[in-house]
Amino acid sequence: MSSADTFSIRYEFIAETVSDAEQTASDVALEQTVELPFGAVAPEFQQFIGTPSECSQESDARWSCTIEYKTDVAGNDILQFLNVMFGNVSIKPGVKITDFNPGALAPLFPGPQFGIDGIRKLAGATGRPLSCTALKPVGASQEQLAEIAGDCAIGGIDIIKDDHGLANQSMAPFEDRVKACVAAIRKSDKETGRNTLYFPNITTRIENLLSQAKLARSLGADGLLISPQITGLSALASLAESGINLPIMAHPAFSGSYTINADSGISADIYFGKLWRALGADAVIYPNTGGRFSYSLDECLDINDACRSEFGTFRPIFPTPGGGIDRESVGEWKTKYGNDTIFLIGGSLYMHPDGMKTAVQEFQNSVIEG
Amino acid sequence: MSSADTFSIRYEFIAETVSDAEQTASDVALEQTVELPFGAVAPEFQQFIGTPSECSQESDARWSCTIEYKTDVAGNDILQFLNVMFGNVSIKPGVKITDFNPGALAPLFPGPQFGIDGIRKLAGATGRPLSCTALKPVGASQEQLAEIAGDCAIGGIDIIKDDHGLANQSMAPFEDRVKACVAAIRKSDKETGRNTLYFPNITTRIENLLSQAKLARSLGADGLLISPQITGLSALASLAESGINLPIMAHPAFSGSYTINADSGISADIYFGKLWRALGADAVIYPNTGGRFSYSLDECLDINDACRSEFGTFRPIFPTPGGGIDRESVGEWKTKYGNDTIFLIGGSLYMHPDGMKTAVQEFQNSVIEG
């Protein structure tokens, strides 16, 4: 089998000895393709079974193996790629995906249309991290959210996104909200001479996703926020392929079940930094270490690396840590995470005694100089 | 808050004492709605925060709490319901959903259009379990798969489904496969006087899902197979709402990350038997205990119960255990699981020394009489 017609997935799984590991690797290779015991596979179909590499030991009871699959098995379909990658083995205890290479199927994936360079160009910001905050809370009217947006823009924030919980609720319907927020931000931009980017949340059933994205663009949005694990992962690709020509920021809602378990699911760096990137995200939000979520500092650094490292022809994308980031700490996070980062600040802005504008100004100063 | 305008989610989480538990419940109620610390929520928006019930202790370190949410927070959107249900807390360590009640949002969910009674009517089978097998392997041509389908129909199987790994690969393209399999099955039905049901796999990007479903119907398919966690969960609802008028069998590919971890994700019974049922599945396949997957017998019995128990206006649906079920064991599984079950048999049919027809005949006899 030549790599010209294959793709590969790296799995980590439970095994005690090298022969246990080889057995499990063979089981996975069967499960994800012909889904039959080897003895029931006629010789002519054996070519479609995945081909495991040598197994390597990761720890006392964990081994790894890369399985190479023929592209024919996934056909021409991103969803079938996902199925071969992790369909049935997602239900086996202790199996985790720790890497993948789309190989000859790379052209199935649109990849990021903007990436780090594209977003920097839109924001007019080089040589420093970018800042981002979320409009909240659900329940606020479009006027109230627009006022916050205007204040954040005056304060100098680079990107304003909707909270991922803002959809099309009656308190601030999508179209009204986007209109009001764009107007408020443009008014502030006139004062400051800056170009603040606004990313409304377009997460909706995919039947409506592209029309909602087009509506957002026609109303003046600068980018789009989507929660791919809620829409279905291929919605991200649909958006990236659509020619909408706006950067996409992806939110991790509903994705924790894949990414927080040490011994199952998909490594967070691979899931956010490779899978979502291949599918078309230009920036991926993830819960920062030390906040109210699950990841260790090492996992966060791995996510950052995966977002920025060479990966086929896919542009590097912005890791966007959120949680536990405020004016005081952002300097330290800059040192740890580097300039090619979007720092997402949330609750602390909303609690500043001197109000949103001042809070954002102080944060932005720290992002630029801190 | 009256239950007329709420829905509720039951969470289990890590806590040592009742006050720890109350704190975590309050944190979840904030996280899933306003996503701000309580101190940053202006009084007018506090009505949108979820309302936790009393917490109850489940084990030494696990507590449970039901949080009631205003329907306004989810608006009119199944995806936003999913986001409020589990969006951000999916990423918190140790949080698991153990039940939910769509409450006033029940009308958002199409529910099963056929359910147990509807599928029984199509199959012409009452007072006994149904049998099902999968056409395999990927790599086989449509002619080869059709031959297997014809043999299974002669043998008397109730439902023939595509393997979930059959999509639109060049070896057996969707349209050619469905045509060939329908023809072979109808030919066998003429011989036997039976009405074998054929459920092709229509899992594809949702832009094409409905047209693929319509194509399947126009070619004579009797039902549809879909992997909702691969398409995105709302695709299931889109299909059920579409008026396609075919029963939907849902496959668990890619869903294990939600359902196999004891302390996170979503309880398997709730995920398969309530969430997928509300979204429109008429039968849900799950990996049977004792096979090559994760669930205990108790979990399987819980899934069965959830599929069949009263749940608002949603019809009871068929649990469809697969894995470890063969001619010898199916009698025992009938005793354990009852008549309102579809028994999915796989590899053992393909390994019978006397061929597929005989294998299916023996299995079907055991399903009916065993």
What predicted TM-score, i.e. pTM, was given to this entire model? 0.97
pLDDT at residue number B240: 97
Work out the pLDDT band at B206, boundaries 50, 70, 90.
Answer: confident
Q: Does B100 touch chain A (CB under 8 A)?
A: no
Q: Tell me how close the Cα of B220 comes to any Cα of chain A, in angstroms.
A: 24
From CA A200, how far away is CA A215, in angstroms rounded? 11
Q: Which pLDDT tens digit goes with each residue over B128-141?
A: 999 999 999 999 99
From CA B283, how far away is CA A317, in angstroms rounded? 41
Q: Which pLDDT tens digit goes with each residue over B278-332?
A: 999 999 999 999 866 779 999 999 999 999 999 999 999 999 999 889 999 999 9
Q: Which is the catalytic residue, given A136, A274, A334, A357?
A: A136
Q: Residue B71's closest chain A neighbor by CA?
A: A169
pLDDT at residue number A370: 67
Mean pLDDT of chain B: 95
From CA A105, how far away is CA B66, in angstroms rounded? 45
**Contact flag B75-A169 (C-beta cutoff 8 Å):** yes
Q: Which is the catalytic residue, given A70, A161, A164, A251?
A: A251
From CA B232, how far away is CA B198, in angstroms rounded? 23
Residues 6+ apart with CB under 8 A from A42: none
Which residue blocks in chain A are alpha helix, DSSP H?
18-31, 71-74, 78-86, 115-123, 142-155, 174-192, 206-218, 228-231, 233-241, 256-259, 268-270, 276-279, 297-308, 330-337, 347-350, 356-369
pLDDT at residue number B369: 86
pLDDT at residue number A366: 94
From CA A104, how far away is CA A26, in angstroms rounded? 22
pLDDT at residue number A1: 42
Between the alpha carbon of residue A179 and those of residues A170, A172, A244, A263, A328, the distances in Å are 15, 11, 18, 45, 33
Nearest CA-CA partner of B164 in B242, B230, B90, B209: B230
Q: Which pLDDT tens digit goes with each residue over B99-110?
A: 999 999 999 999
More confident residue, A212 or B347: A212
Give the amino acid at B141. S
Residue with tokens 């056909």: A75
- As averages over each run of 10 residues, the pLDDT of chain A (370 residues) reads 82 97 97 94 96 96 98 95 97 96 97 98 97 96 97 97 96 98 98 97 93 98 98 97 97 97 96 98 95 85 98 98 91 96 91 92 91
Nearest CA-CA partner of A249 in A132, A129, A366, A121: A132
Which residue blocks in chain B are alpha helix, DSSP H?
18-31, 71-74, 78-86, 115-123, 142-155, 174-192, 206-218, 228-231, 234-241, 256-259, 268-270, 276-279, 297-308, 330-337, 347-350, 356-369
Assess contact for A134 and A162: CB atoms under 8 A. yes
Q: Which pLDDT tens digit goes with each residue over B65-89?
A: 999 999 999 998 999 999 999 999 9
CB pairs under 8 A between A and B: 280
pLDDT at residue number A2: 46
Q: Chain A window 232-291: which residues touch B at a Cβ cutoff of 8 Å? A: 232-235, 237-238, 252-261, 264-266, 287
Q: Which pLDDT tens digit goes with each residue over B352-370?
A: 889 999 999 999 999 998 6
* Chain B CB contacts of A242 below 8 Å: none
Q: Chain B window 154-173: which residues touch A at a Cβ cutoff of 8 Å? A: 163-165, 167-171
B2, pLDDT greater than 50:
no
Q: Tell me how close the Cα of B45 comes to any Cα of chain A, in angstroms.
A: 6
Tokens of A325: 């980031």
**Contact flag A89-B167 (C-beta cutoff 8 Å):** no
B1, pLDDT greater than 50:
no
pLDDT at residue number B172: 97
B179 belongs to the catalytic site: no
B253, pLDDT greater than 70:
yes
Phi (first) and psi of residue A229, to 5 degrees: -75, -15
Nearest CB partner across the interface for A87, out of B40, B47, B254: B254
